[in-house]
Structure 1
Amino acid sequence: MTARLATLMHLGIVSSALLAGWPLASLADCAVVPTAGDDTFTCSSGTSAGVVDTAGNNTLLFPAAGTGVINGDVTFGPGRDLVTMNSGTVEGAVDMGDGANIFQLFGGTVTGSIIQGTGNEIVQISQGSAGAVIQGLGSNNFAMSGGTIASVTQGDGDNKATLSTGRIDGDMAAGNGNNEITIANGSIGGKIHVGNGDNDIIVKGGDITGGVQAGNGNSIFTWQNAGLIHGPIVTGSGTDRAFLTSLTEPTIASTPLLDGGLGDDSLTFDNTRAATPSRYANWETVTLNNTSVFTLGSGTFTLGDAGTHTGTLNINVGTLLVTQGSISPFTAGQLVNVNNAGLIDLTSNSASATDSLTINGNYTGNHGQLALQSVLAGDNAPSDKLVVNTGAMQGSTTINVTNLAGPGAMTVQNGILVVQAANGATASDLAFSLRGGAVSAGAYEYYLYKGGVTPGTAQNWYLRSAIEAPPLPTPEGPVGVIPPVPPDGGITPPVPPDVGIFPPVPADGTPDTPGIFPGEEPIPIYRPEVADYSVLFPAVQQIVQGMLSTYHERMGDQGPPQSTGAAPAGWARVFGSSTRQSFSGTVSPTLDSSLSGFQVGTDLYAWTSDNGLNQRIGFFVGHSRLTGNVKGFAGGFQNTDTGDITLRADSLGTYWTLMGANRAYLDLVVMGTRFDGHDESSRGVKLQTKGHNVAGSAEVGMPFAVSAHWEVEPQAQVIIDRTWLDSQNDGISDISFKADTNVTTRVGVRLRGDYRVGGMPVQPYVRANVWHAGAGTNTVTFNRSTDINTDQQSTTMDLSAGATLQVSSSVKVYGEVGYNRNLDSHSLNGREGTIGLKVDF
Structure 2
Amino acid sequence: MSGAIGILNSEKAKFLTGVSLAALALACCISSPAWAGTYPAGSDAALRAAIQSANADGDANATIYMTGSFSISTATLPIPTKPITIDTNGFVLSNTYDATALTTRGALTIQQSTGALVPVTFSGTLVGANAGAAATTAGQIGAVVSATTFTNQGSIRGGNGGGAGGAGASGGAGVRVLTGSSLTNNGIIVGGDSTSAGGGAGVSYGNAIGGPNTILNIGTIRGGNGPTNGITAGVGILAQGGTAGQIVNSGTIEGGTGAAAIGASSGTLSLDIVNSGTIRAGTGQANAIDRSAATTGKVTLELQPGSIIEGNIIAGVTPTTDVLRLGGTGSDSDSFDVSAIGAAQQYRNFDTFEKTGTSTWLLTGVGTATTDWTIYDGTLLIGDHSAPASVIGDITNFGTLGGSGTIFGDVSNSGTVAPGNSIGTLTISGNYIGNGGTLAIESVLGGDASPTDRLVVTGNTSGTTNVRVTNLGGTGAQTVEGIKIVDVGGTSAGSFSLLGDYVFQGDQAVVGGAYAYRLYQNGVSTPGDGDWYLRSDLAFPGAASGPLYQPGVPLYEAYPQLLLALNGLSTLQQRIGDHYWRDDGKATSAKGLDNVWLRTEGTHAEIEPDSATTVGSYDYDMFKLEGGLDGELYQDQGGRLIGGLTVHYGTVSGNIDSLYGNGDIDTTGVGLGATLTWYGDNGFYADAQSQVTWFDSDLTSDLVDGAMESGNNGFGYALGIETGRRFSASGPWSITPQAQLVYSSVDFDTFNDRFGARVSLDDGDSLVGRLGLALDREEQVQRADGETALTKFYGIANLYGEFLDGTAVTVSGLGFENRNDPVWAGLAFGGSYRWSGDRYQLYGEVAAKSSLKDFADSYALSGTAGLRVKW
1:268 to 354, 361, 378: 354
Give the match for residue 407 of structure 1.
Answer: 475
Q: RMSD value over aligned CA atoms?
A: 4.6
1:211 to 262, 281, 288: 288
Correspondence list, 1:91-170, <5 A: 107-110=159-162, 112=165, 114=167, 128-130=192-194, 144=201, 146=203, 165-167=221-223, 169=225, 170=229
- CA positional deviation for 1:787: 0.6
CA-to-partner distance for each residue in 1:77-110, whole Å, 9 max, x for gaps? xxxxxxxx95433757559xxxxxxxxx964524
CA distance in 1, matches of 2:613, 2:103: 100
Q: Does 1:585 align with 2:616?
A: no
Q: Is the 1:634–1:642 contact (alpha carbons within 8 Å) kept by the matching residues of 2?
A: no
Q: Is the 1:703–1:713 contact (alpha carbons within 8 Å) kept by the matching residues of 2?
A: yes
CA distance in 1, matches of 2:298, 2:821: 82
1:369 to 434, 438, 444: 438
2:733 to 706, 710, 735: 710
Q: Which amino acid aligns with 1:385?
A: R
CA distance in 1, matches of 2:536, 2:639: 63
CA distance in 2, matches of 1:108, 1:276: 44
SS of residue in 2 equivalent to 1:553: helix
Q: Is the 2:597–2:866 contact (alpha carbons within 8 Å) kept by the matching residues of 1?
A: yes
Q: Is the 2:828–2:845 contact (alpha carbons within 8 Å) kept by the matching residues of 1?
A: yes
- CA positional deviation for 1:774: 3.4
- CA positional deviation for 1:390: 2.7
- Report the number of matched residues: 667
- CA positional deviation for 1:312: 1.6
CA distance 1:787–1:461, change in 2 (3 Å): same
Give the match for residue 600 of structure 2.
Answer: 574
SS of residue in 2 equivalent to 1:277: strand
Q: Is the 1:713–1:749 contact (alpha carbons within 8 Å) kept by the matching residues of 2?
A: yes
Give the match for residue 813 of structure 1.
Answer: 841
2:299 to 210, 220, 230: 220
- CA positional deviation for 1:602: 0.9
- CA positional deviation for 1:832: 2.1
Gaps of 5+ in 2: 6-72, 77-94, 108-127, 139-156, 170-174, 178-188, 208-212, 282-286, 503-507
Q: Is the 2:366–2:389 contact (alpha carbons within 8 Å) kept by the matching residues of 1?
A: no
- CA positional deviation for 1:656: 2.7
Q: Is the 1:800–1:816 contact (alpha carbons within 8 Å) kept by the matching residues of 2?
A: no
Give the match for residue 331 of structure 1.
Answer: none
SS of residue in 1 equivalent to 2:552: helix
SS of residue in 2 equivalent to 1:540: helix
SS of residue in 1 equivalent to 2:837: coil
Q: Is the 2:192–2:224 contact (alpha carbons within 8 Å) kept by the matching residues of 1?
A: no
SS of residue in 2 equivalent to 1:781: strand
Q: Does 1:278 align with 2:365?
A: yes
Q: Is the 1:217–1:240 contact (alpha carbons within 8 Å) kept by the matching residues of 2?
A: no
Correspondence list, 1:442-591, <5 A: 442-455=513-526, 458-471=529-542, 518=543, 520=544, 522-545=545-568, 548-557=569-578, 559-560=581-582, 561-564=587-590, 566-567=592-593, 569-583=595-609, 584-588=611-615, 589-591=617-619
Q: Is the 1:729–1:735 contact (alpha carbons within 8 Å) kept by the matching residues of 2?
A: yes
Correspondence list, 1:745-756, <5 A: 745-756=769-780
SS of residue in 2 equivalent to 1:803: strand
Q: Which amino acid aligns with 1:529?
A: G
Q: Which amino acid aligns with 1:580?
A: E
CA distance 1:651–1:61, change in 2 (3 Å): closer
Give the match for residue 254 of structure 2.
Answer: 187
Give the match for residue 416 of structure 1.
Answer: 483
Q: Which amino acid aligns with 1:370?
A: L
- CA positional deviation for 1:460: 2.0
1:680 to 699, 705, 713: 699
CA distance in 2, matches of 1:769, 1:696: 16
Gaps of 5+ in 1: 5-23, 28-42, 52-57, 66-84, 96-104, 117-121, 135-141, 155-159, 305-310, 329-335, 472-517
CA-to-partner distance for each residue in 1:386-433, whole Å, 9 max, x for gaps? 2222332532223231x233222222x112222222x33524234554
SS of residue in 2 equivalent to 1:593: strand
Q: Which amino acid aligns with 2:671?
A: D
CA distance 1:129–1:564, change in 2 (3 Å): same
- CA positional deviation for 1:184: 5.6
- CA positional deviation for 1:281: 5.4
Q: Does 1:729 align with 2:752?
A: yes
Give the match for residue 231 of structure 1.
Answer: 311
Q: Which amino acid aligns with 1:574?
A: T
Residues 760-769 or 455-464, more deviating: 455-464
When normalised by structure 1's length, the TM-score is: 0.69
Q: Which amino acid aligns with 1:208?
A: R
